[in-house]
Structure 1
Amino acid sequence: MPERDGVETKAGASPGGTTVAGSPFRVPALDGIRAIAAIFVVLFHLHVGFSRGDSGVDIFFVLSGFLITSILMRGARQGRIDFAKFYWGRALRLLPVYFAVMAVAVAIAVAWHLGGSTLRGALFSFLYVSNWAAGSGEGLGLLTHTWSLSIEEQFYLVWPLALIGIVTVSRGNGRKAAIGVGVLTVLAYLALLACWFGGTSTTFAWNFTPARGMELLVGCSLALVVSEFKGVRLPGAAWHLPDILGLASVAGLIAIANVQPHSEWFEMLVEWPLVAGVTALLILVCLNRDAKVTQRALSLGPLTTVGKMSYGLYLWHFPVFFVIDASIGLEHWSAKLLAMGIVAAIVPLSYRFIEQPFLRLKSSGTPNAVRQRMAAVLGRTGLRHVPTE
């Protein structure tokens, strides 16, 4: 769920506003957004306020769609999209700590006799179909939270090819491509409406990949708009409008995360698109040079540190909370502090000794064996290094 990849952005001044164009440097403020999303989810599971802290998942979905599409469009600007490199990078980023958490969860479930739900959850998580299992009412035990990661992995498998198809049909016209993705976003929302009108259970709708694709596609649409228009002008720099929009967006996300939902369907039909839209606006603000206050606030050291480790934080926190809750309960503050202390100890170690060593392999290129295998698979579909010009 939480993604952390470089995004190419460049802030450039223009009369009456600010533009964002392509250039390779990181945007620390995006790590700040990621940190906010992770904190929402952790506090939600810890039952410390944030009755809608699960909206952090919605924020993560938008960020993932934006970052992944930015990576793909970077390849498109260079004339081709290297599928082997893309999927190899995804594997190095996502799988090591994911498998580590699954292994620990299974070991704990077996040793502590926590039931077979975690073992079944491990199988579903390994296959990246835990969202479908959860949607059918299957318990996942210590791996309950992997449903969102399954949705993202399914997205990663489909979206690169879908984007190539959209770019091809639009004949390289970025505006038409952005409109095409916008249409897909509307269709994803209609899939959610169909669940509602069709009397589908909220559990199924919550885990339904096409419906959750709406939030991912909002991020994808934003990335295409930024790529095509070399950024989107935010007028009113002299009146600090970018900062006003940015800080209002942060405040809005915090408010939504603390509002008791009217109903589950209201949450899905109204709050999901609202959070997606506000998150997209906040991302856009973070790409604008004139939003100095917002960018500084979201780039504070503690926030960016949490943001960089947010993937591991998301993966590790739930099993820890689950075990503490099953052992002594999570009602008392002493138990909550113990749970957070354990998570705070595990996550940096996991980042240092599991995530970072594999992330460093990304810079060494794609192994020939992987590239050859990908070429063989994609060759059957007529794709390999897909030209985009």
Structure 2
Amino acid sequence: MQHSRNRDLDGVRGLAILLVVAAHSGLPVRWGGLSGVTLFFVLSGYLITSLLIREWDRWGSLSLWRFWGRRALRLLPALVVFLALVPVLLWATGDSRLPDYPAAALASLFYVGNWVRIAGSDLGVLNHLWSLSVEEQFYVVWPLLFIALMAWGRAHLLGLVFGLTGLATVYSVWTKGDFIRLDISTETNAFALLLGVSLAFALASMARKGWHPPRVNVLIPFVVMVLVSAFPSHDVATDHTLFRPLGAIYAVLGVWLVASAVLGHSSIVASRVMVFFGTISYALYLWHQALINSVLLGDKTIPRNLALIAVAVLLSWLSWVLVERPVGGLRGRFRLDEPSARQRAALEKEPVP
């Protein structure tokens, strides 16, 4: 399995954020929000699980402190800066939602924004942070479940993970209820994360058995994902009959795309433009929708939205240069190629075979 920096995966991340941004701008990528977020979930499930497997195979255990520390250093600095600057934007534009902002910011900071929205509260310009809440909840729960599964043994682990993924997918497609819950609840989006988890386990199992899948063309699933994201629909926000089934289709396409990026290469997917957007994707995710949903520049039109997205790109680049990249250097203290103190002590007692 490939663990070094993969430009094709960066390009896949760039595609995910561009699909989301295009949909929010009003461009005719009607399902880009659903496809982009689903692709993010698949990619997160794969990358996080790959890191967990790598650490477990090397040291025979998992350091939760190191894992959660790396996640906090990756996500919190840019989020805190964003949450601190948004009220300045609301105040400067005379936005009437400013008094409600502190509660919305706290819900987002503690990653419960999706549940707060399901309960009936509006988070204003932070409504889009529901998907960050889902991912962070995954980061909290999945390592604990991973440890339990790995301690139980690998003999039937792949089948169990595939089974859980299948059940979660069937549940997501067939469950009924309020649209907001179907859209942003953790349980209806878990299947996409689990598909990424399944992919990580499958590729790790192939590597352990010495199987080497052939290289593939990443560009084919890349183009298919874009085309299917433009699938016509009368009203994305209310078409319940298509919403969850299309989510499952996008998740499967996401697995195809991520697997292709791991096993193959495309100069287009790994181009400077796609890698650039993949690099700033987190900050762009934070900023673009907050600006679009603000009262800046009047009513929402495509030209107005695109202008604000250009501002969001600039802010996202500044976030990467001034916040995310410098703080990323601190993650060196959580290096995976060296055992933690507890792992080192365990290795001295009983070396990993």
TM-score (norm: length of structure 2) = 0.87
Sequence identity of aligned pairs in percent?
29
* Residue pair 2:219, 2:269 contacting (<8 A) in 1 also: no
Q: Using the alignment, how far apart are the partners of 2:118 and 2:64 within structure 1?
A: 31
1:97 to 60, 78, 87: 78
Deviation at 1:62, TM superposition (A): 0.2
2:243 corresponds to: 268
Q: Does 1:162 align with 2:162?
A: no
1:287 to 241, 249, 262: 262
Deviation at 1:222, TM superposition (A): 0.2
SS of match in other structure, 2:55: helix
1:5 corresponds to: none
Q: Does 1:228 align with 2:200?
A: no
Matches within 5 A, 1:171-186: 171-173=153-155, 176-186=156-166
* Residue pair 2:25, 2:302 contacting (<8 A) in 1 also: no
Deviation at 1:123, TM superposition (A): 2.0
SS of match in other structure, 1:296: coil
1:138 corresponds to: 121
Q: Does 1:216 align with 2:190?
A: no
Matches within 5 A, 1:55-66: 55-66=35-46
One-letter identity of the residue aligned with 1:72 = L
* Residue pair 2:10, 2:278 contacting (<8 A) in 1 also: yes
Deviation at 1:306, TM superposition (A): 1.0
* Residues 64, 343 of structure 1: alpha-carbon distance in 2 compared, 3 angstrom cutoff: same
Structure with the larger RCO, 1 or 2 (CA within 8 Å, 6+ apart): 2
Residue ranges of structure 1 left out of the alignment (5+ in a row): 1-7, 10-23, 376-386
Q: Does 1:32 align with 2:3?
A: no
Q: Using the alignment, how far apart are the partners of 1:337 and 1:205 within structure 2?
A: 29
Q: Does 1:339 align with 2:343?
A: no
1:72 to 52, 56, 60: 52
Q: Using the alignment, how far apart are the partners of 1:40 and 1:213 within structure 2?
A: 20
Deviation at 1:114, TM superposition (A): 2.7
Q: Using the alignment, how far apart are the partners of 2:302 and 2:244 within structure 1?
A: 34
Q: Using the alignment, how far apart are the partners of 2:141 and 2:172 within structure 1?
A: 19
Deviation at 1:338, TM superposition (A): 2.5
User: What is the aligned-residue RMSD (CA, Å)?
Assistant: 2.3
One-letter identity of the residue aligned with 1:165 = A
TM-score (norm: length of structure 1) = 0.79
One-letter identity of the residue aligned with 1:212 = N
* Residues 338, 26 of structure 1: alpha-carbon distance in 2 compared, 3 angstrom cutoff: same
Q: Using the alignment, how far apart are the partners of 2:170 and 2:225 within structure 1?
A: 24
Q: Using the alignment, how far apart are the partners of 2:16 and 2:226 within structure 1?
A: 10
Deviation at 1:260, TM superposition (A): 2.5
SS of match in other structure, 2:253: helix
* Residue pair 1:44, 1:50 contacting (<8 A) in 2 also: yes
* Residue pair 1:66, 1:220 contacting (<8 A) in 2 also: yes
1:364 corresponds to: 333
SS of match in other structure, 2:175: helix
Residue ranges of structure 2 left out of the alignment (5+ in a row): 343-350
